[in-house]
Amino acid sequence: AYKFWATQPVPQFDEKPEEFKEGPLRLQKVEDISTEPVPLNLEPFRWVVLDLTNEEEMAEVEKILNGHYVEDDEAMFRLKYSRSILKWSLMSPGWKKQWHIGIRSGTTLCAFISAIPVEIRVRDNVMHSSEVNFLCVHKKLRGKRLAPVLIKEITRVINLEGIWQAIYTGGVVLPRPVSTCRYYHRALDWLKLYEVGFSPMPAGGKIQIQQRKYKLPDNTATRGLRAMEAKDVDGVDNLLNRYLKRYDLAPVFSREEIEHWFLNTNDKDGEKVVWSYVVEDDNGKITDFFSFFCLESLVIKSPKHSSIRAGYLFYYATEVGLTTPVEKPALKKRLNELMGDALILAKRYKFDVFNALSLMDNALFLEQQKFGPGDGQLHYYLFNYKAKPIASGVDARNQL
């Protein structure tokens, strides 16, 4: 049934995961990779590399994504990317211009795909890899098999850098997820979410009762909690990379990446996209860390509200998870303290909803913090790497 994906180096559905021998599916050499773009054979389309340091070209990417990117099943909401969040997610350390690929018809950008370099660990194997995102085809050009061509072209330019693996996610089922997560949502402004049709009224419910259910204190409670600053980069680097070792599939962050993903000071004139907090103990040691980013959704049809401001839980870490053996009740207590404070901060910064996936140790706090399951699932995929199913871990950047 998967005409294109059946030809790609990914595990297929008729294989038995218990028998998977973990590792790459296809071995190639850079000298065997074509230096010519994949043929488009489709008039009037042509390939373009987008220069995102050029504000006009960035505006074109913004335009196609904001008009044609991911919507919910009922087409009520569509992800809405600010200039700042696009810079943050597409121009991370080591980014390459040639990994920002478009298809133009005349002067119009009508399709896009991108990748960034990342270091990914699958169990014990750390790989220089790529993260593919923002695959988008103009609504009027759907179903014309442009997606496979875009995927083949990004594969080619990634391969030219001597990189053979990729991680990517999607709401659609393809051969073959290595992990599957569910989205959870925690209302911060319940009334607004109700008015735009995101949150239903429970049977026999009342507005005031719902609002009371989601009410939060004004102030955070964790002693020593404060916003992360430049001086905390080493402390966070150390803590987070140790914490991520708890999981079977996780990124390995360089110091530069810690700065980029959690402080994002490169985009000085831009709007704030990421909020990061640390807990410093009496000896000046960073013992805990959490972060969330802002991604708006356009409300396609509501007379009253034009967008929803969503906070997405990003990475976190706590020393409490690093004692051996890990005491689950202690970790559960600590994560609930930290996430309770994250919600208070998100509310303070005017977020309407706080989202988290069922990844990392999130199961320990989702229910207690009044998150509810959404309809959306997020499937994680590895390209050219066969791995047995992975229950925990995974890369939180893939919510972007």
In the complex, the residues that contact ligand YNC under the rule CB under 6 A are 2-5, 68-70, 130, 132-137, 142-148, 151, 154-155, 158-159, 163-166, 168, 170, 172, 174, 383
Which of Mg ion, ligand YNC, none lies near 70, with the C-beta cut-off 5 to 8 A by kind? ligand YNC
CA distances for 102 relative to 150, 287, 359, angstroms: 8, 43, 32
- Smaller CB separation from Mg ion, 91 or 137: 137
Q: Are 380 and 195 in contact (CB under 8 A)?
A: no
Q: Which residues, numbered 125-164, are part of the site for Mg ion (CB under 5 A)?
A: 137, 144, 146
Cβ neighbours of residue 140 closer than 8 Å, sequence gap 6 or more: none
Q: Are β-strands 125-137 and 45-49 bridged in parallel, bridged antiparallel, or unpaired? A: unpaired
Neighbouring CB atoms inside 10 A of 157's CB total 21
- Smaller CB separation from ligand YNC, 151 or 181: 151
- Smaller CB separation from ligand YNC, 164 or 275: 164
Which of ligand YNC, Mg ion, none lies near 312, with the C-beta cut-off 5 to 8 A by kind? none
CA distances for 219 relative to 256, 274, 334, 345, 397, angstroms: 32, 20, 17, 8, 28
At its nearest, how many Å lie between ligand YNC and the CB of residue 102?
12
- Smaller CB separation from Mg ion, 146 or 387: 146
d(CA 339, CA 359): 14
Q: Which residues, numbered 340-359, are part of the site for Mg ion (CB under 5 A)?
A: none
Token pair for residue 218? 């004004």
At its nearest, how many Å lie between ligand YNC and the CB of residue 127?
10
At its nearest, how many Å lie between Mg ion and the CB of residue 3?
13
Distance of CA 151 to the CA centre of its chain: 19
At its nearest, how many Å lie between ligand YNC and the CB of residue 214?
30
Which of ligand YNC, Mg ion, none lies near 95, with the C-beta cut-off 5 to 8 A by kind? none
Which of ligand YNC, Mg ion, none lies near 166, with the C-beta cut-off 5 to 8 A by kind? ligand YNC
Which of Mg ion, ligand YNC, none lies near 163, with the C-beta cut-off 5 to 8 A by kind? ligand YNC
Neighbouring CB atoms inside 10 A of 320's CB total 19
CA distances for 135 relative to 47, 106, 129, 298, 318, angstroms: 14, 20, 18, 19, 34
- Smaller CB separation from Mg ion, 150 or 400: 150
- Smaller CB separation from Mg ion, 67 or 372: 67
CA distances for 19 relative to 65, 74, 387, 389, angstroms: 40, 39, 10, 11
- Smaller CB separation from ligand YNC, 9 or 340: 9
Which of ligand YNC, Mg ion, none lies near 151, with the C-beta cut-off 5 to 8 A by kind? ligand YNC
- Smaller CB separation from ligand YNC, 101 or 313: 101
Token pair for residue 33? 């990779």
Neighbouring CB atoms inside 10 A of 230's CB total 8
Which of ligand YNC, Mg ion, none lies near 179, with the C-beta cut-off 5 to 8 A by kind? none
At its nearest, how many Å lie between ligand YNC and the CB of residue 168?
4
At its nearest, how many Å lie between Mg ion and the CB of residue 140?
10
d(CA 304, CA 292): 27
Q: Which H/E stretch holds residue 147? A: helix 146-159
At its nearest, how many Å lie between Mg ion and the CB of residue 166?
20
Backbone torsion region of residue 18, taken as left when φ is above 0, otherwise alpha when ψ lies between -120 and 50, otherwise beta? alpha
Q: Which residues, numbered 231-270, are part of the site for Mg ion (CB under 5 A)?
A: none
Token pair for residue 381? 């995929």
Report the interface residues with Mg ion, using CB under 5 A.
137, 144, 146
